[in-house]
Amino acid sequence: MTPEPDSPLTALAGVGPALAKKLERLGLYRVEDLLFLLPLRYEDRTRLLKLGALVAGERCLVTGEVLLAETAYRGRRNLLVRIGDGSGQLTLRFFHFSRSQEAQFQPGVRVTCFGEVRKGRAGFEMIHPEYRLLREGRDPAINDSLTPIYPATEGVQQGRLRNLTEQALTAMRRRPPEELLPEAIRRELTMPSLAEAILYLHRPPPDADVALMVAGRHPCQQRLAFEELLAHYLSLKNLRALADTESAPALRGGQDRIDAFIEKLPFRLTGAQQRVTEEILGDMQAPHPMMRLIQGDVGSGKTVVAAIACLKAMACGVQAAIMAPTELLAEQHCRNFSEWFRPIGLEPAWLAGSQKAAARREALASIADGSAPLVVGTHALFQEGVSFQRLGLVVIDEQHRFGVHQRMALREKGIGEAGHPHQLVMTATPIPRTLAMAAYADLDVSIIDELPPGRQAVTTVAIPETRRDEIIERVRAACATGQQAYWVCPLIEESDVLDYEAAQASYEMLTAALPELRVGLVHGRMRPAEKERGMRAFKEGLIQLLVATTVIEVGVDVPNASLMIIENAERMGLSQLHQLRGRVGRGAAKSHCVLVYKPPLGAAAKTRLAVLRDTNDGFVVAQRDLELRGPGELLGTRQTGLPEYRIANLVRDAELMPRVQLVAERITRDTPKTGTAIIRRWLGDAGRYGKV
């Protein structure tokens, strides 16, 4: 009996509880899930190749008669089987074999093999090919479609996966999956039906364009990718629609205090800062929660815009909370906010994981009774035991380090009589538009696309580590003119596994090489107080050269620093390098960034360093980083909260996003039940993003 598509996998022949458990590791729970487990690649077993026409590196199907079989001892035991077909000969080599296997290969027996052709000592050979002995009078079995190679998991062989997908396809032929994309939309986009696309991708015909399929560009793949992107986009838009029905405190006062605060700032806001500030303050006056993302390049002045939003909240009688991903960045925010707000009688409370028990108790009490109108901290802010009296605004810095669920958790903490808090999230990693559409569809996006006056482009060069002496002289010369420099190393101590320059070793080397300079050291394993002392000493000019790990990627603002040296630059991502480079160029002096690399450079590393040399534009850097490394790495690997896609690829399929957006609007307006069904098909009943 053919199982239903929504039946559990145990309804399939040969699937018991143990195998079902293994298949869960591939995200497979129901029969229908197998339809969306697409092959990674394909093998061509639809034609037999003559042995005389073999090419090294090709995977192919061949047949021949056993001419000779022998066991050889060349360092290790080998079974060598020589076959021929009249046009040429091929050696089959086995390292792992049994006596019964060896006995099968009698001269005159015909055998069909599939494997990769390699050059051996005595001509072409296949190592451990898949093979089948042919009975007398039988012809070799030739497939009528390309053979799919599926994502593997331990204990589940390819043959088993092919068998299970065949059962699922049989079930699909009997009861095709519901066509959820409206026919008018499919016609406009010239897309095949869902059933056609699935069948083609699991069992492509012999004349299929394999190169197009491997590239993920085949119309059948695009059909599935489009629907999956649509499901994620609709899910985030549902989250936003839910927020728009919720209440929030309508913060309509405090403009006089904001005007006075801006007037007293030691700098003028840029036009972009003013525009974004107006967008935020407008949102906060509405009786439903603001959900806004501020994008801005390194040094564009996002923090002061967030400070104005916090002041608005406090002036209207509600609490504001600022959450940063690291204590270092949270400390920098706390320092900035203290300097800005102390003159008007406001002092932020501090909450972080490293706090001593007494200080934490005091902070928690002031947050709970409302005597702390402004709280700055790390993820400790959304942990159990933290209770706000009346949280009206949540500001999350470097949003991509947290993800949807964590920011939802902090948002839930603020639910009170007046409703949910307003939410402002910030990132200094500029996000290409198509990626922002997919990752942040639940947020309104504001862009600070203008650097403050005085910020200038940083000249970037790449230099091999063999010229280290020249680089040290460059540091000496810069510091001799009264400027300061950073020397950044990825690790704190020597590593046998990764040949990185350690900060400690570099500190000792530079102290010896530059005895006339005051050299400091800052790294992530220092206690916060030690780190703070080191940073402050550098900011105040007591240290001329600061050796550091990437803890200084965000947070430190030292206008007098004009030279950035980055060790092992070839091993870092573009966006991280751009963040580090953004630590200089904040003062009047011409600034430089030196990317030190270990030759020889690979092609990818060459491309990355060339991008940094050619542009200072964070959005250009982010786009290239996205193309080179993919969205997960651009936005911060596992913590991103960025959805895992089964078929779609945000880099490859970025061009689909504008159409996904338009189709989502039509479905939401005309057939909302269809949108719910699409989300359920791809994300399950939970809708993934609505859960906290």
542 located within any domain? yes
Same domain (yes/no): 114, 166: no
Percentage of the chain beyond pLDDT 70 is 92
Same domain (yes/no): 353, 485: no
Which residue among 397, 427, 448 closes a domain?
Answer: 448
84 lies in which domain range?
Answer: 51-134
Instruction: Look over the chain and give the mean of its residue pLDDT values, rounded to a whole number.
Output: 86
Confidence band for 688, pLDDT divided at 50, 70 and 90:
very low
Same domain (yes/no): 343, 464: no
Q: What is the mean pLDDT of residues 582-611?
A: 90
Q: What is the mean pLDDT of residues 196-223?
A: 90
326 located within any domain? yes
Same domain (yes/no): 425, 465: no
Confidence band for 689, pLDDT divided at 50, 70 and 90:
very low
* 639-652 residue pLDDT tens: 344 556 888 887 78
Same domain (yes/no): 38, 64: no
323 located within any domain? yes
Same domain (yes/no): 34, 57: no
Same domain (yes/no): 341, 467: no
* Contacts for 201 with CB less than 8 Å, ≥ 6 apart: 38, 39, 213, 218, 220, 221, 224
The candidate with the shortest Cα–Cα distance to 79, out of 123, 126, 114, is: 126
Confidence band for 532, pLDDT divided at 50, 70 and 90:
confident
* 217-229 residue pLDDT tens: 899 999 999 999 9
Q: What is the 3-state secondary structure (H, E, C) of 4-60?
A: CCCCEHHHCCCCCHHHHHHHHCCCCCEHHHHHCCCCCEEECCCCECCHHHCCCCCEE
* Model pTM score: 0.72
Choice among 39-43, 650-654, 656-660 with the minimum mean pLDDT: 650-654
Phi, psi angle pair for 156, to nearest 5°: -125, 110
Same domain (yes/no): 425, 279: yes
Angle between helices 468-480 and 503-513 (to 10 degrees): 70
Confidence band for 410, pLDDT divided at 50, 70 and 90:
low
CA–CA–CA angle 554, 263, 322 (5° rounding)? 35
Confidence band for 556, pLDDT divided at 50, 70 and 90:
low
Q: Residue 543's pLDDT is what?
A: 96
Q: Residue 256's pLDDT is what?
A: 94
Same domain (yes/no): 497, 551: yes
Which residue among 393, 414, 448 closes a domain?
Answer: 448
Element housing 91 (H / E): strand 89-94
Q: Return the CATH number at 325.
A: 3.40.50.300
368 located within any domain? yes
453 located within any domain? no
Same domain (yes/no): 317, 438: yes
Q: Residue 491's pLDDT is what?
A: 62
648 located within any domain? no
Q: Residue 497's pLDDT is what?
A: 41
Q: Return the CATH number at 127.
A: 2.40.50.140
Same domain (yes/no): 175, 81: no
Classify residue 416 by burial, with Cβ atoms within 10 Å: 0-12, 13-18, 19+: middle
Q: What is the mean pLDDT of residues 189-212?
A: 91
Same domain (yes/no): 334, 483: no
555 located within any domain? yes
230 located within any domain? no
First to last CA, the chain: 40
Phi, psi angle pair for 255, to nearest 5°: -65, -35
* 472-526 residue pLDDT tens: 999 999 999 999 999 998 765 555 444 445 788 899 999 999 999 999 998 877 8
Q: Could you give the number of structural domains in the chain?
A: 4
Angle between helices 603-614 and 574-581 (to 10 degrees): 30
